[in-house]
Structure 1
Amino acid sequence: MRNKKITWLAISLVLAILIVTFTLKIKNKPSGQPEPAEAKAKLVVVETVTRDKAQRLSEISATLEADNETLLSFEVPGQIVDLPYKEGDRVKSGTVLARVNATEFSLQVAQADAGLNKARVGYQQAQQDFDRIEQLYREGVVAQSDYEKARDGLQVAEEDYLQAQQSADLLEQDKTSLIAPIDGTILVKYVTRGQITSAGSPVYSIGRLDPLKAVLPIPDNEIANWHQGDKVQLTLYGAEREGRVSRIYPSTNSGTGTVGVEVTVANLKQDWLPGQVVMANRPETREGLYVPVSAVINRGEDKPYVFLAIAGKAVKRSVTIGELFGDNLEITSGLTAGDRIVVKGADQLFEGDAIEDPGGNGK
């Protein structure tokens, strides 16, 4: 009986302690503290992906060049005795730009003429000898070996004569005069009158100032977007002119990784000059799927990704990106038109986060 009393006393004591502890917790709980609840949804901005046209403006600097610029030089050495033109002078095709006193060339011409006369006389003599031997051979007076010898001699004499004539014809051209090959402007004058020049050394640089051209260095991964005939806006000190792509070079510069795109621009007043630097602007429009740069996340993973808004949750989706157009990135795979993606606040999200768009597009 006594043991039962002790047991009941112990139980009563434990109950009393629990009641006091619970009461103290109730009293010490801060007023107004809410009960635990589910994590709050993160505020984001959601947009629907659509297929659209994006435009960007390519800006590239380039140097103006004369059209059809050519270096002119003499084919023979000599002393320059006539040099009437200077930089900036306009000349017509066929104009004699300079002359040299080429003593060595004159000797070569004289020797060629002498050789031609000698070969002509030899050929004529061989022809007479062959005609005579041939007649005698037909009459049976001379042997066949004599006939064949005369025939071979005529053939050799004829070949010598033709070769001498070709040499004389080549030297007959006036190589002591430098002729303008095109209508153009003298761009550079490299020599002075009285100077001794060697064969092949530049005397003048000539080219056309209307039109001018500029070669744009285009990265090789973008060259497929350029085509012959494309319009390009050129700007020089605030003045603008429209040019057109006239040529795309067939190879890549191994040092820069660029491909030359030649743009031709009219220069009727010839007030733009070779050597001036212009800014080339070309708008480019392309249709595709585009999303704001802020929507694409790349945290060092294999592929960049975006977050889709599906049933109030952030769902991670890997994407393949193309080129940058302004503030938008081209998406080449991973998204389809109609997908809803987070365009603001994506960098704070993790897979499965609850999201809410104040504009009402988060669901």
Structure 2
Amino acid sequence: MYRGEGRGVRRRGIAAMLLILCSVAAVACSNTKTQGNVEEQATQGRVVGVDTISKQPLTTNYTLSGTLAPVSEMSAAFEVPGRIVESNVQIGDVVKKGDVLAKLDTYQYRLQLDEAIQGVEQAKAALDSAEASIRASTAQVKSAEANLLEIKKGARKQQRERMKNALTLAQAAYEKAQIDAERSQSLYEQGLVSQSDNENAQLALTSAQNAVEDAESAVSEMQEGATKEQIQAASGVLDEANSGKLVSIAAKKQASAAYNAALAAQRQAELALSKTTLISRFDGVVLAKAFNNGELAAEGQPVYTLGKVDELKVLLPLPDNEAKQWEKGSVVDISLYDQVTKGTVEKIYPLTNAATGTINGEIVINNVKLGWSPGQVVKVGLHQSGREVILVPVEAVISDGDKPFVYKLEKGIAVKTIVQLGGNMVNNQLEISGGLKVGEQIVTQGADMLFDGDKIQAAEGAAQ
């Protein structure tokens, strides 16, 4: 080995030893400083970030999207079946109440109406006949009643006078016929009259005698009154007339019922014919059309779907923890492209969707001037401000099971304090609804390293 090379090696070894000595000295200095800091923290407390509690205006923005729909919809359907022969409106058309939407083929319904009209005419004829029968039977009853009454009362004074006069006339005629017959017989015996003339005179005498006997019998009956048989006969005639009247009344009732049934059938046929025309029940817009001309439509099967678009609604799926912020009557912003308008929270539905955990909220918009259409997607914004609440940084709140807590700074000690959380988080700050008061100090930085009762001190620059 050369001498020069030995000196170089020795120099490098000395340099390395000096470097090691310097490193040991630096570590020793550092350990001495750290030990001093630990001793200081043990004496004065751990340094933490501290804030003083105050109330701040809470401004919360909620933005959700939804699809516009009519506030009210109605299906327009025929109330009778048939084949559609006329469609007057298409999807998107504006209709007014009373407008004709569509028509069915009316041939079958007109035939039914003609048959019903003929049935009414026949029933009316039968009813008129029954009423005529009642009038005739009523007249028969009155006649039979009058006859029975006369028989029971006997002949009136005028009748008695007429019968007596008739008897007197019959007797006078008989006396004259008797004289004529005796004279004719004498002349015949003398041969002055023919046998034929004599026989006629004798016959006239016999007839006159019979007339006297009839008149005498009538006068006798008048004086004695009606017999029992005559009264019974007259009563029988009256009973028969009353029975006939009852039959006529029953026939009229039956005819009247048939007539009313025929009228009802006619009205039903007229109604069915009127239902072959489909009329709009309110002002709105045609949202859907299910049939074309020539197709068969069943009774009650929707042909059109109509909606009122002067007011529109949006159903929003609200997260259940935010639903209470969307109070009924709240005013919200509705935006569609570059248009913005106001809407009103109309209702919050009572049930939660089990699949999504959301609650439907219904927002209503006045669409009279906007001209927006069902099916368009809009954004809905709810802005809440003005309410003053306590807000603390998220890192200040520690969760311990179901009871979140913070550490308050009280006389240099960390005091574990249970708090109640509100329903809002703004800018990484939690709303505290209970457990803290304005003016109290809490640990906002380093809380996760503390235990209840630890000594702490606020970092330089922290709120005091």
Q: TM-score range by the shorter chain?
A: 0.7 to 0.9
User: Could you tell me which residue of structure 1 aligns to residue 360 of structure 2?
Assistant: 259
Q: CA deviation at 1:142?
A: 8.1
Q: Does 1:72 align with 2:76?
A: yes
Q: Does 1:195 align with 2:199?
A: no
Root-mean-square deviation (Å): 3.8
| Alpha carbons 1:217, 1:261 under 8 Å: kept | no
| Alpha carbons 1:213, 1:262 under 8 Å: kept | yes
Paired-residue identity, % = 33
C-alpha change, 1:185 and 1:302, in structure 2 (3 Å) is closer
User: Could you tell me which residue of structure 1 aligns to residue 434 of structure 2?
Assistant: 333
Deviations 1:34-76 (A, max 9, x none): 5655526333332233344412111111101134332212111
Q: Does 1:88 align with 2:187?
A: no
Q: Secondary structure at the match of 1:207?
A: strand
* In structure 2, distance between residues paired with 1:226 and 1:142: 88
User: Could you tell me which residue of structure 2 aligns to residue 59 of structure 1?
Assistant: 63
User: Could you tell me which residue of structure 2 aligns to residue 185 of structure 1?
Assistant: 285
User: Could you tell me which residue of structure 2 aligns to residue 319 of structure 1?
Assistant: 419
Q: CA deviation at 1:111?
A: 5.1
Q: CA deviation at 1:199?
A: 1.7
C-alpha change, 1:53 and 1:189, in structure 2 (3 Å) is same
1:349 to 450, 454, 461: 450
- Could you tell me the TM-score, scaled by structure 2's length? 0.59
Q: Secondary structure at the match of 1:347?
A: helix
Q: Which runs of 5+ in 1 are unaligned?
A: 1-28
Q: CA deviation at 1:137?
A: 9.4
More moved, 115-124 vs 228-237: 115-124
* In structure 1, distance between residues paired with 2:275 and 2:315: 34
Partner amino acid for 1:349?
Answer: L
* In structure 1, distance between residues paired with 2:381 and 2:430: 21
* In structure 1, distance between residues paired with 2:251 and 2:111: 30
Partner amino acid for 1:232?
Answer: V
| Alpha carbons 1:212, 1:267 under 8 Å: kept | no
User: Could you tell me which residue of structure 2 aligns to residue 359 of structure 1?
Assistant: 461
Q: CA deviation at 1:210?
A: 3.2
Q: CA deviation at 1:274?
A: 1.6
Report how many aligned residue pairs link the two structures: 331
* In structure 1, distance between residues paired with 2:59 and 2:360: 22
Partner amino acid for 1:214?
Answer: V
* In structure 2, distance between residues paired with 1:307 and 1:116: 96
* In structure 1, distance between residues paired with 2:126 and 2:450: 101
Q: Secondary structure at the match of 2:395?
A: helix
| Alpha carbons 1:54, 1:325 under 8 Å: kept | no
Q: Which has the higher contact order (CA 8 A, sep 6+)?
A: 2
* In structure 2, distance between residues paired with 1:359 and 1:144: 124
* In structure 2, distance between residues paired with 1:167 and 1:287: 74
**Which has the larger strand fraction?**
1
Q: Secondary structure at the match of 1:298?
A: strand
User: Could you tell me which residue of structure 1 aligns to residue 18 of structure 2?
Assistant: none
Q: Which has the larger radius of gyration?
A: 2
Q: Secondary structure at the match of 2:453?
A: coil
Q: Does 1:242 align with 2:342?
A: yes
Alignment of 1:237-316 (within 5 A): 237-245=337-345, 247-248=346-347, 251-255=350-354, 256=356, 257-266=358-367, 268-270=369-371, 272-285=372-385, 286-299=387-400, 301-316=401-416
* In structure 2, distance between residues paired with 1:317 and 1:251: 36
C-alpha change, 1:77 and 1:216, in structure 2 (3 Å) is same
